[in-house]
Amino acid sequence: MPLPIALPRTLTAALSLTLFLTTATTAAELTPEQHAVALVAQMTREEKIAQAMNAAPAIPRLGIPAYDWWSEGLHGIARNGYATVFPQAIGLAASWNTDLLRQVGTVTATEARAKFNLAGGPGKDHTRYAGLTLWSPNINIFRDPRWGRGMETYGEDPYLTSQLAVSFIRGLQGDAPDHPRTIATPKHFAVHSGPESGRHGFDVDVSAYDLEDTYTPAFRAAIVDGHAGSVMCAYNALHGTPVCAADWLLNGRLRGDWGFNGFVVSDCDAIEDMTRFHFFRPDNASASATTLQSGTDLNCGNAYRDLNQALARGDVDAAVLDRALIRLFTARERLGTLHPREHDPYAGIGTKDIDTPGHRALALQAAVQSLVLLKNTGNILPLTPGTTLAVLGPNADALTALEANYQGTSSAPVTPLLGLRSRFGTHHVHYAPGASLAPGVPSTIPDTALRSNGQPGLKGEYFDTLDLSGTPRLVRQDRLIAFNWDHVAPTKDMNPHRYAVRWTGELLPPGPGSYTLAVHVARCFDCSGHDTVRLSIDDRPVITNNVKDAQAAAGTHDTDSDRLEATLHFDDSQPHQIQLEMEHRGEDQGVRLEWLPPAEPQLAEAERAVAQADVTVAFVGLSPDVEGEELHVDIPGFSGGDRTTIDLPTTQERLLHHVKATGKPLIVVLMSGSAVALNWAQQHADAILAAWYPGQSGGTAIAQALAGDVNPGGRLPVTFYRSTQDLPPYVSYAMTGRTYRYFKGQSLYPFGYGLSYTQFAYEALRLSTASLKAGDTLAVSTRVRNTGTRSGDEVVQVYLESPQHPESPIRSLVGFQRVTLRPGESRLLSFALDARRLSSVAPTGQRRVAAGRYRLFVGGGQPGSGAPGEVATFSVTGHLLLPK
């Protein structure tokens, strides 16, 4: 029967639908947008306002289920239980593999669908993190290595970012526009990359040239080529206007120039920030009216509650709210969240499709492809069979250095230590952390310092009861107390919302001195209720999350942070009884038992490990505990989530000096989300491997690479500078002196750099013409050959040097392909450089193909970096302006 609806006369779309419905149309015959118009027409004003915020409530009378638009999928599904955890985005970027990014996006979307269906599926209420609108990828340009969130991006180059983003978005959304797997949300539109400490109120003053040349190309590609279904607008202002209120950017550039027809969501509380930090509007009502009018359809936060006031006083027209709601419900209809569908291709996705063997294999493949070999003196790598290793460093056995941020929960994470023990044999691996991550930063107590029943680790007793009474449901030996239990239970037979654990055993300090012990309870920032923890040493309570109970324990303090600490002094290295209890009753996400030992005993322990080994492998770098999103960190080298220096922390630098002085070969594995100035290591270490934050299988991938089971083939997606002094002021968004395109100094490792266990050569570079008209496509081909004795991957890179003006980049990446070649094998590769790839930006900000002489380099890296390759030149006649 015809669908009974009362349509608002203010909407042209509604009037058209009225005519459509009078011809006896059924609900099943409506397009997604027509169905959205029909639903919105039946809502009250209050209902509409509630639906324009991320936690949209149900409207039972209209059959609309509740839906929270907020879900995360940066490198796998996050914050919703077990999922496949891929390398952090910067590691995926180091693969330079668009096909891999599409596969990762597909798996992420599949697991999102599985969790959506397990939560009830279409027509049922869905809470936060269980939806199908994924707020990723982050495609901001990593313009400065000090930015803490740069790890979430695809690096510093607009073209590389564009191509990887389009592939990831296509994986997330699939090939059916009217019924996508999920909806991707590239963020943070359009110019956003720190500082974290001022992100809620800073105003970016960027030239029209830099905006078009650097900051918007990836977003344009995500919309025009990737057809992303939504976009997130950023916290910051651009030229004095908060981005979420920038009509020229959202309605003009995004919807007008690029033809975007999806919805725009604000970053969380960005609209409230307009009154609190930008002082752009006097109250939330006027801020909400401006953002809604300017094209921000969905408010992550609660500012839109005041739209009633704005509508009443005429700050915004009701038709503008309807427009936003129609966009939102068109998306929900396309996703199939509102009601079950016949022949739903995603209906059968469920538990069997989460963390599958195939998904785990892809996570390992991604980790392997992210590895970048930076140095290999005397071909010390790969290691020979039977080599005995001293495994050192604060990241050797750190779960956080696998997961990064915006992470899911891996069912079986493999740290580097575990990977090396598995690959080389436990008896060939001697482990000692050797140093803390940075001054004042605790790390997980290693398994060498915990003992129970003569075995490394502590005895864990897991209870269904919060008072730890009765018989434990599970008793096991836990090697480390470092668990990510976000939305999961310690074992599948337990209630993930209510359990308790007691760990007991011995603590073995490496030597006398002052020790800071810490219990780190990972708290979700917007959850209610927190877990209770109690730590005792030699039957003496030293940590509790109740301040009054803790006052009797010297050195104990309690704050609102994730970490509770106590300082103790041990006179020797004798064992001490340790007991940790945890009662889980809230929504906290896991627990880590940490310490900050004195430096000298740690170094002595590391030297003993080195003395027993043939080679030292030191896992150094950074951690999501010190670089990330708006962190409460203020220590030397780090502030608010950002870095104040790009040097390796002094604690780790000292460790490298000490172990190299033993005379044993030193292999450095860098685990970080950003570039680190490894000057001393470059001069003195025998090999260096960049592993980023490599995901659940990172330890296996690293072990395979060191053993030669796989050949590292990743390339740097960022420039590694020699010094912080090489960088312009962090707060400046001008690109002069930034990234490989504008930095004129000598880098430590250039963008696109990476070594291999084999060698490659290039030949027969050909262009389709030596002269073309502006607007024509240039065909380029080259042959690359593996001239070494091992199979390996080469990343063929195409760089263009355009006719220069004072602001022109030195060169720009315009093409790349990753290819696997056997020894002696060659491959003919082709590139089609269309007008946009051959274009450059005029000082006024207009993109065009300019007349003049061009230089093209095709090879294994940038020209002048030592990478093999060939050069060709060509000319362009005429002049062609390109669309924004």
Q: Is 10 left (phi over 0), alpha (psi -120 to 50) or beta?
A: alpha
Rounded Cα gap, residues 298 and 266, in angstroms? 6
873: three-class secondary structure by DSSP:
strand
Say if residue 218's pLDDT is above 70.
yes
- From the CA atom positions of the chain, what is the Rg in Å? 28
Among 506, 488, 500, CA closest to 463: 500
Instruction: Check: CB of residue 13 under 8 Å from CB of residue 37.
Output: yes
Give yes or no: 272 in active site: no
530 confidence band (pLDDT: 50, 70, 90): confident
pLDDT tens digits, one per residue of 555-605: 444 444 578 899 999 999 999 999 999 999 877 789 999 999 999 999 999
Given 33, 157, 212, 267, which residue is catalytic? 267
Cβ-Cβ contacts under 8 Å for 815 (sequence gap 6 or more): 780, 797, 798, 831, 833, 837
Q: Give the tokens for residue 631.
A: 């962190």
Chain-centroid distance of CA 562 in Å reads 21
238 confidence band (pLDDT: 50, 70, 90): very high
What burial class does residue 558 get, using C-beta atoms within 10 Å of its C-beta: 0-12 exposed, 13-18 middle, 19+ buried?
A: middle
695: three-class secondary structure by DSSP:
coil
CATH topology of domain 444-596: Jelly Rolls (2.60.120)
Instruction: Check: CB of residue 41 under 8 Å from CB of residue 101.
Output: no
Cβ-Cβ contacts under 8 Å for 237 (sequence gap 6 or more): 201, 202, 203, 204, 243, 278, 280
Among 347, 359, 358, 357, CA closest to 75: 359
342 confidence band (pLDDT: 50, 70, 90): confident
Strand order in the sheet with 429-432: 372-376, 687-690, 666-671, 615-621, 389-392, 429-432
Q: Give the tokens for residue 245.
A: 């209120």
> Does an H or E element contain 819, and which?
strand 812-821
Q: Is 767 left (phi over 0), alpha (psi -120 to 50) or beta?
A: beta
Say if residue 301's pLDDT is above 70.
yes
Q: State how far the alpha carbon of 312 is from the alpha carbons of 280, 316, 318, 320, in Å.
A: 21, 9, 10, 14
pLDDT tens digits, one per residue of 442-484: 999 999 999 999 999 999 999 999 999 999 999 999 999 999 9
Instruction: Check: CB of residue 257 under 8 Å from CB of residue 250.
Output: no
Phi, psi (5° rounding) for residue 820? Answer: -100, 130
Instruction: Check: CB of residue 370 under 8 Å from CB of residue 595.
Output: no
pLDDT tens digits, one per residue of 599-652: 999 999 999 999 999 999 999 999 999 999 999 999 999 999 999 999 999 999
Q: State how far the alpha carbon of 664 is from the alpha carbons of 156, 606, 609, in Å.
A: 36, 13, 11
Cβ-Cβ contacts under 8 Å for 499 (sequence gap 6 or more): 462, 463, 464, 466, 473, 489, 490, 584
Say if residue 554's pLDDT is above 60.
no
Instruction: Check: CB of residue 874 under 8 Å from CB of residue 778.
Output: yes
Class of the CATH domain delimited by 366-436+599-757: alpha beta
pLDDT, average across residues 358-362: 99
What burial class does residue 448 get, using C-beta atoms within 10 Å of its C-beta: 0-12 exposed, 13-18 middle, 19+ buried?
A: middle
Phi, psi (5° rounding) for residue 359? Answer: -65, -40
Query: For position 27, what pLDDT does the model report?
Result: 58
Among 311, 237, 238, 239, CA closest to 271: 237
Average predicted confidence (pLDDT) for the chain: 94
Query: For position 21, what pLDDT does the model report?
Result: 42
Say if residue 19's pLDDT is above 50.
no
Read out DSSP for 148-193? GGGGGS--S-HHHHHHHHHHHHHHHH-S-TTS-SSEE--BSBSS--
Rounded Cα gap, residues 699 and 73, in angstroms? 22
Instruction: Check: CB of residue 401 under 8 Å from CB of residue 623.
Output: yes
Lowest mean pLDDT of 23-32, 225-234, 694-703, 704-713, name the range. 23-32
Sign of CA dihedral 822, 823, 826, 832: positive
Instruction: Give the DSSP letter of residue 332.
Output: H
Pairing of strands 482-484, 852-859: unpaired
Q: Give the tokens for residue 272.
A: 């409230």
Say if residue 523's pLDDT is above 80.
no
Instruction: Give the DSSP letter of residue 65.
Output: P
Cβ-Cβ contacts under 8 Å for 232 (sequence gap 6 or more): 135, 185, 186, 187, 188, 189, 264, 265, 266, 267
Chain-centroid distance of CA 408 in Å reads 11
pLDDT, average across residues 245-257: 98
pLDDT tens digits, one per residue of 476-522: 999 999 999 998 999 888 999 899 999 999 999 999 999 999 999 87
Q: Give the tokens for residue 132.
A: 């199908």
Q: Is 461 left (phi over 0), alpha (psi -120 to 50) or beta?
A: beta
pLDDT tens digits, one per residue of 764-821: 999 999 999 999 999 999 999 999 999 999 999 999 999 988 889 999 999 999 999 9
Q: State how far the alpha carbon of 127 is from the alpha carbons of 68, 117, 187, in Å.
A: 5, 12, 22
Query: For position 636, what pLDDT does the model report?
Result: 96
Instruction: Give the DSSP letter of residue 9.
Output: T
Domain 12-341 bears CATH identifier 3.30.565.10: no
pLDDT, average across residues 239-267: 98
547 confidence band (pLDDT: 50, 70, 90): very low
Chain-centroid distance of CA 286 in Å reads 34
Q: For helices 650-660 and 599-611, give the axis angle rounded to 10 degrees.
A: 30
Q: Where are the domains of the chain?
A: 12-341, 366-436+599-757, 444-596, 758-881
Lowest mean pLDDT of 26-35, 262-271, 337-346, name the range. 26-35
Read out DSSP for 727-782? SPPTT----TT-HHHH--S--SB-TT--B-SS-EEEEEEEES-SEEETTPPEEEEE
Instruction: Check: CB of residue 61 under 8 Å from CB of residue 4.
Output: no
Among 256, 235, 232, 240, CA closest to 206: 240
What is the C-alpha end-to-end distance of the chain, expressed in Å? Answer: 47
Q: Give the tokens for residue 879.
A: 């002049």
Say if residue 17's pLDDT is above 60.
no
Give yes or no: 627 in active site: yes
Cβ count within 10 A of residue 385: 9
Given 33, 627, 642, 686, which residue is catalytic? 627
pLDDT tens digits, one per residue of 831-853: 999 999 999 999 999 999 999 99
Domain 758-881: assigned CATH number: 2.60.40.10
Cβ-Cβ contacts under 8 Å for 581 (sequence gap 6 or more): 468, 500, 501, 502, 503, 532, 533, 534, 535
Instruction: Check: CB of residue 696 under 8 Å from CB of residue 399.
Output: no
Read out DSSP for 562-624? SEEEEEEEESSS--EEEEEEEEE-SS--EEEEEEE--HHHHHHHHHHHHHT-SEEEEEEE--T
Query: For position 804, what pLDDT does the model report?
Result: 83
Query: For position 589, what pLDDT does the model report?
Result: 82
pLDDT tens digits, one per residue of 279-288: 999 999 999 9
Instruction: Give the DSSP letter of residue 409.
Output: B
Is the peptide bond preceding residue 382 cis, with omega within 30 degrees of 0?
yes
Query: For position 8, what pLDDT does the model report?
Result: 39
Say if residue 323's pLDDT is above 60.
yes
Query: For position 561, what pLDDT does the model report?
Result: 59
274 confidence band (pLDDT: 50, 70, 90): very high
Query: For position 805, what pLDDT does the model report?
Result: 84
Chain-centroid distance of CA 629 in Å reads 11
Instruction: Check: CB of residue 474 under 8 Å from CB of residue 462.
Output: yes
Rounded Cα gap, residues 217 and 222, in angstroms? 9
pLDDT tens digits, one per residue of 661-704: 999 999 999 999 999 999 999 999 999 999 999 999 999 999 99
